[in-house]
Structure 1
Amino acid sequence: SLNQMEKFEVVEISKEVPEIKIIEAEDYAGKLVELRGKVTHVKITGGPTIFTILDEGGIITAAAFEGGERAYPEVNASDIVKIIGIVKRRDADLQIEVLEMERLLGEEAYAISKRIEDEIDKKCEPPYVEFLIESDILENLRDKMVKVAKELRKAVFESRPVIIRHHWDADGICSGVALEKSLLSFIEKNASSEMKHLIKRKVSRAPFYELEDVVKDLDESLEDSEKFGDKIPLVVLVDNGSGVEDIPAIEQFLTFGADIITIDHHFPDEKVDSYLLHHINPYKVGGDSNYTAGILCTELSRMIDEVPGIEFLAAVSVFGDRSSGAVEKYIELVGVSREELVNTALAIEFEAFYLRFRSASQVIHEILGFGRKDRQKKLVDILSGYAKSGIEEQVRTVMEGLKLQTLPNGVVLAAIDVENYAKRFTFPPPGKLTGEVHDRLKNEYNRLVTIGYGPDFAIIRSEGVELDIPKFVAELREEINAGVDGGGHLVVGSIKFIPAKRKDVLSKLAAKISSL
């Protein structure tokens, strides 16, 4: 025994283990390996500490056990490390069970970091894809789209959270889902499925990034950073984010190191651009709002990763936002009837209205065809039926309060009191209801402006009249002390004001329409 031995020596021995790249891990399942890479994320759990490791070949997680404590506290995100461990299967993913981890420094670390950076930069470069339709507008947006697609692919490799904030209507939802599906698909092919939680699609009830939304996003992001070591996110504003009303929320998030990207088809205000990393908007290249956010995000998503059936989202968004012209080619691509597309847009908006602030990805994905096809048809038929019934009932009652006036310039002004002639908190909401009334009236009048008003808001729809609603808002703000704000498209939008000044605001608005 050792106690009986007078002389002995303890010698440390080491075993030669193969050094591999992450892309080779599949071939070494169950074996001891060594790998070197960059830590992109550190997650502390009740059990192991999970390190996300990146090298030239891909991403893998490494689990280090330290009795419930933070393992290797000297190792943080962005460090270069050498790991010795066993490659194991964890559900559908591979994971390294760490036996040793060492932080590398100096020239070796720099060389590895530079090598990874150069290779990942190439991997982030989106493939060239032809647009689904021929369009000079889209071609003029291509360079900007490529940059945004690269930024989003890069966020996956860097384990950076991506918040997709989109408007709640059919166009906004189709836009958000297009980006969500392509990013999740890209993660499946290039990273661990554990990283899917970093893609967060969220709904905005307002047609801009309001302070209520940014406070939630910011608080959640800071909490995740504190608890799990998450990075400050890349925020993508979809179907909003182009106006001055977005700036207060954007500015607040920027203070904490976020980057903001806008993908929108509302008329843009140049002031917002100085706050954005990138801004994709058809107006910037001679287009207009007919190029919906759903179209822009569908085409962009194909640069991130191809997802079967994604073109259906573009077609639904065309009907959801009543777009026309060249973009109607997307309808021909999907091989379904116009009635089915209209019903899908209605079903999405009906469900979204009652979901309020919840994104409810699984239900929404089912309605949009990313689940069982038989169930999708039933869902769309049921929900669109409820939506149509609700619309007809509300239109019937609100038409009793309709007031029509022919202005001196020949424009017919239709005013509907949605406060007193429609149910509250019931589908359709005031904006949708105003649009439905307008669609019925425009069959009778060539030059028409419809205003649906409530105690502190006015919703505007127009046909055959060249309005500039953002300009109206700016002028009203100067002319009357009523807390006026709002915006939207040039010919479709909304205005907010204080209730005490409703009569003054509506009178001045009618005068401006009369002077066109």
Structure 2
Amino acid sequence: MGTCIICGTPVEGRICDSHQEDVVFEFRGNDASQLVSGRFYSGTVDGYADFGVFVDLASNVTGLLHRSELDRRLESLHWEPGDTVFVQVKNVRDNGNIDLGWSIRQSERDFRGALVQDAEGDHDVGEGDESADETEDEPDEPETPTVRHGSTSRTDEASTDENSTDDSSAGRDDSQSREEAASEPTASYERVEIGTLSDRVGETVRIEGEVVSAQQTGGPTVFEVRDETGVVDAAAFVEAGVRAYPEVDVGSLVRLDGEVELRRNEIQVETEALVSLAGDDADAVQSRLDDALRGRARPDSVTPLADHDAVSAVETQLQDAAEEIRRAVFESRPIIVRHTATADGYVAGAAVERAVLPLIREEHAKSDAEYHYFDRRPLEEAVYGMDAATNDVTRMLQDRDRHGEKLPLVLLVGTGATVESSDGLDLLSIYGAKRVVADAAAVDAEIEESTDVLVSPVLADADASDLSTGALVANLAAAVNDDVRDDLRHLPAVSYWENAPEAYLDAAIDAGYDETYVRELREAVALEAYYQSYEDKRELITDLLFDNGVTPNGDGENAGNLASHVSEQFRLKLDAEVETAQANLESREAEGVDFAVLDTDAYTHRFDFPPTALLLDELHRREREGETFVTIGVAMDELYLRSTADVDLRAVAEAARERAPEAGITAVGIREGRIEFLSGRREQVKEAVVGAVAEQLA
């Protein structure tokens, strides 16, 4: 008969039934059959596969943590071979295969205790080791169970005497008394800045700042605390899975005393006492935070990546937008980037990502912070509609309620700048999410009321005819983080399908990207943007745009130019589709305007690359003649329009509605020239739009 290492209850073995999942085991057996399903084990990462991670639980016992068991994308794991990780054994199959489950507790301190399991059974850490054998003849000491709280160990003082009272209630009383005793800092520790904690490992210090998130794990409560110099995790333990300091919430200004520790190369603070501040104390902390934030967030100036009048016209707007983005990072506010699933959109989104991620890494001690505080979410359409906004609001409210995160800053690039997006932007506003919009074209002045910052050369009365959104946002990214300026110089040129300004082409050449390479990058990004368009493809886009397109193979050797390989696939697929479309174009003339009309339902593969918009762009480039040439693609219930002369799409839709009043004609995609209608009136709509365009251009 032994006692439970958690609560001291008399039990056969070392852990009672109610605390089986509060203990992590080190497995020293030699066969998978010795594992116990449901238990948590420490293991080491053996390697990755497309379907998950292999984890060694012993030298000859390996299990699979399938990607479906993860609470995040497999690509977002930063585990390296040899890293210690914590997993749950879900099942041991008859053939010896081991199915592993994800553990939200990824450090030993998150468990309440640790044991060794070998072929002989369970025992305390140290028992059965050679060091323990050497003291075998020494007198036995009275047995006292050891419990790990956070990252420390303590001896449980609860008596296991037969005449003692119920141990579990005693444990609860003890937890409550510890909480009450530690509810407010009483010792006189030196207040230090979070930015200096890496030099203070092992010291007990006092920090003051704002709680930016509060997450309840299976063990301690983990508070992220921000001061004027950085952010750090502080673990506070009352009882496994029980919220410590429930009065402290996101946004609270606090004073915290604790020991600085280094866990898996990350600085953490083991909380000894924590209290919310009020009055003059709170005002002093808030003042320090505000002063530091003002000084850090706003760029001193904006220096364009190349000479461009349209960019120079919006330097103040770029400065305002960069300040909001930097402020979000320093306030530990998540940043959500919405961009179109096009080459231009991906260039814009990737530019911001390249600028923001280093700032997040510098600000947060957690190695995976960039996946918590930055997310890029492509849009299939160039409109931020209620569907996308509802998705974003749902996720941000879940993150707030489940993980204690602040509401995000939503940055929309190349989308969200027209009145068709106002309902989606207003939904974000209702919940208090910040909104920054940057767009090189198709901007409506009315949208300013639905944004916190709007970057638009159009509203600055500048000629933006030679400016892409990718070029505009690359300049914004340079303003956000000047340290990555050299990484961004080639991006503006990549964002243009034709007629890229010479200044951007020269900048790309100076950065090592000639015109052929720039074209290959653009085509490769466009192809990858199409597949699973709702995914950010962070690692792949990084390999394409920022690693010179050269990717190492599994042996660490050069596997060839990634951009050239993907670009070749782009060209083969696009040329084949264009050839088919050209053979089936309907050529016509109206009011002196030449038209090329394609039935995209009948003569394209609608659910394969290229997407209709990209195909129409390429057809228009190849077929156009003279100053007034129009290409139209008509599908079941939508129409795409391309023109060599400026066309007011909303006016075309209005005029077409008069010609076909029962067709439900609506201009829905101003940037992409898209009109929607009722499929039953398809032929009538085609004739109405051709007539309306001809009338406008005549």
Q: CA deviation at 1:478?
A: 6.0
- Tell me if the contact between 2:361 and 2:369 (Cα under 8 Å) persists in the aligned partners: no
Cα RMSD for the two superposed structures: 2.3
Structure 1 equivalent of residue 513 of structure 2: 336
Equivalences, count? 500
Within a 5 Å distance, the mapping from 1:245-264 to structure 2 comes to 245-264=420-439
Q: CA deviation at 1:317?
A: 0.8
Structure 2 equivalent of residue 266 of structure 1: 441
Structure 1: which 5+ runs fail to align?
1-11
1:241 and 2:413 aligned:
no
Q: CA deviation at 1:186?
A: 0.9
- Tell me if the contact between 1:282 and 1:289 (Cα under 8 Å) persists in the aligned partners: no
Which TM-score applies when normalising by structure 2? 0.68
1:110 and 2:288 aligned:
no
Does the C-alpha gap of structure 1 residues 116 and 332 become closer, same or farther in structure 2, counting only changes over 3 Å? same
- Tell me if the contact between 1:172 and 1:294 (Cα under 8 Å) persists in the aligned partners: yes
Q: CA deviation at 1:312?
A: 2.4
Q: CA deviation at 1:326?
A: 6.1
Q: CA deviation at 1:446?
A: 4.5
Q: CA deviation at 1:294?
A: 1.0
1:473 and 2:650 aligned:
no
Q: Quick one: which of 49, 60, 69 aligns to 2:242?
A: 69
Structure 2 equivalent of residue 448 of structure 1: 629
| 2:329 aligned partner, one-letter code | V
Structure 1 equivalent of residue 673 of structure 2: 493
| 2:648 aligned partner, one-letter code | D
**CA distance in structure 2 between the partners assigned to 1:462 and 1:14 by the alignment:** 74
More strand by share: 2
- Tell me if the contact between 2:310 and 2:464 (Cα under 8 Å) persists in the aligned partners: no
Q: CA deviation at 1:33?
A: 1.0
**CA distance in structure 1 between the partners assigned to 2:454 and 2:658 by the alignment:** 28
1:408 and 2:591 aligned:
yes
Q: Quick one: which of 518, 539, 555 aligns to 1:362?
A: 539
| 3-state DSSP of counterpart to 2:301 | coil
- Tell me if the contact between 1:394 and 1:422 (Cα under 8 Å) persists in the aligned partners: yes
**CA distance in structure 2 between the partners assigned to 1:331 and 1:502 by the alignment:** 45
Q: CA deviation at 1:482?
A: 2.6
Q: Quick one: which of 229, 232, 235 aligns to 1:57?
A: 229
Does the C-alpha gap of structure 1 residues 396 and 372 become closer, same or farther in structure 2, counting only changes over 3 Å? closer
Does the C-alpha gap of structure 1 residues 124 and 235 become closer, same or farther in structure 2, counting only changes over 3 Å? same
Q: Deviations over 1:122-174 (max 9, x none)?
A: 11122434211122321221111111111111111222111101100001011
Q: Quick one: which of 169, 190, 201 aligns to 2:376?
A: 201
Does the C-alpha gap of structure 1 residues 14 and 202 become closer, same or farther in structure 2, counting only changes over 3 Å? closer
Q: CA deviation at 1:322?
A: 5.8
Q: Comparing both chains, which one has the higher relative contact order based on Cα–Cα distances under 8 Å and sequence gaps of 6 or more?
A: 1
Structure 2 equivalent of residue 8 of structure 1: none
**CA distance in structure 1 between the partners assigned to 2:664 and 2:447 by the alignment:** 21
Q: Deviations over 1:202-229 (max 9, x none)?
A: 0100111122222221111111111011
Moved more, 504-513 or 397-406: 504-513
Structure 1 runs of 4+ aligned residues shifted over 6 Å read none
Within a 5 Å distance, the mapping from 1:381-396 to structure 2 comes to 381-396=564-579
- Tell me if the contact between 1:298 and 1:313 (Cα under 8 Å) persists in the aligned partners: yes
**CA distance in structure 2 between the partners assigned to 1:500 and 1:472 by the alignment:** 20
1:291 and 2:463 aligned:
no
| 3-state DSSP of counterpart to 2:208 | strand
| 3-state DSSP of counterpart to 1:98 | strand
Does the C-alpha gap of structure 1 residues 49 and 109 become closer, same or farther in structure 2, counting only changes over 3 Å? same
Structure 1 equivalent of residue 476 of structure 2: 300
**CA distance in structure 2 between the partners assigned to 1:391 and 1:372 by the alignment:** 21
Q: Quick one: which of 341, 352, 362 aligns to 1:189?
A: 362
Name which one, 1 or 2, has greater alpha-carbon Rg: 2
| 1:256 aligned partner, one-letter code | Y
Structure 1 equivalent of residue 274 of structure 2: 101
| 3-state DSSP of counterpart to 1:284 | coil
- Tell me if the contact between 1:33 and 1:85 (Cα under 8 Å) persists in the aligned partners: yes
| 2:584 aligned partner, one-letter code | G
- Tell me if the contact between 2:649 and 2:670 (Cα under 8 Å) persists in the aligned partners: yes
**CA distance in structure 2 between the partners assigned to 1:249 and 1:265 by the alignment:** 20
Structure 2 equivalent of residue 128 of structure 1: 301
- Tell me if the contact between 1:127 and 1:303 (Cα under 8 Å) persists in the aligned partners: no
Structure 2: which 5+ runs fail to align?
1-181, 553-558
- Tell me if the contact between 2:222 and 2:236 (Cα under 8 Å) persists in the aligned partners: yes
Does the C-alpha gap of structure 1 residues 145 and 477 become closer, same or farther in structure 2, counting only changes over 3 Å? farther
Q: CA deviation at 1:386?
A: 1.2
Structure 2 equivalent of residue 316 of structure 1: 494
Structure 2 equivalent of residue 350 of structure 1: 527
**CA distance in structure 2 between the partners assigned to 1:438 and 1:71 by the alignment:** 63
**CA distance in structure 1 between the partners assigned to 2:524 and 2:211 by the alignment:** 43
Structure 1 equivalent of residue 251 of structure 2: 78
Q: CA deviation at 1:481?
A: 3.8
More helix by share: 1
**CA distance in structure 1 between the partners assigned to 2:464 and 2:289 by the alignment:** 41
- Tell me if the contact between 1:267 and 1:289 (Cα under 8 Å) persists in the aligned partners: no
- Tell me if the contact between 2:471 and 2:492 (Cα under 8 Å) persists in the aligned partners: yes
Q: Deviations over 1:421-473 (max 9, x none)?
A: 1112111111111111111112x54431111111111111222x232223323
**CA distance in structure 1 between the partners assigned to 2:466 and 2:420 by the alignment:** 22
Within a 5 Å distance, the mapping from 1:14-53 to structure 2 comes to 16-53=188-225
- Tell me if the contact between 2:588 and 2:596 (Cα under 8 Å) persists in the aligned partners: yes
Does the C-alpha gap of structure 1 residues 59 and 475 become closer, same or farther in structure 2, counting only changes over 3 Å? farther
**CA distance in structure 1 between the partners assigned to 2:489 and 2:496 by the alignment:** 11
| 3-state DSSP of counterpart to 2:591 | coil
**CA distance in structure 2 between the partners assigned to 1:398 and 1:258 by the alignment:** 44
**CA distance in structure 2 between the partners assigned to 1:149 and 1:509 by the alignment:** 41
Moved more, 128-137 or 27-36: 128-137
| 1:199 aligned partner, one-letter code | F
Q: Deviations over 1:243-287 (max 9, x none)?
A: 121122222222222222111123212222211111112212212
Q: CA deviation at 1:185?
A: 1.0
Moved more, 48-57 or 449-458: 48-57
- Tell me if the contact between 1:262 and 1:279 (Cα under 8 Å) persists in the aligned partners: yes
1:459 and 2:640 aligned:
yes
| 1:219 aligned partner, one-letter code | T
Does the C-alpha gap of structure 1 residues 270 and 476 become closer, same or farther in structure 2, counting only changes over 3 Å? farther
Moved more, 280-289 or 146-155: 280-289
Does the C-alpha gap of structure 1 residues 496 and 27 become closer, same or farther in structure 2, counting only changes over 3 Å? same
Does the C-alpha gap of structure 1 residues 19 and 415 become closer, same or farther in structure 2, counting only changes over 3 Å? same
Percent identity over the alignment is 28
- Tell me if the contact between 1:160 and 1:233 (Cα under 8 Å) persists in the aligned partners: yes
Does the C-alpha gap of structure 1 residues 494 and 377 become closer, same or farther in structure 2, counting only changes over 3 Å? farther
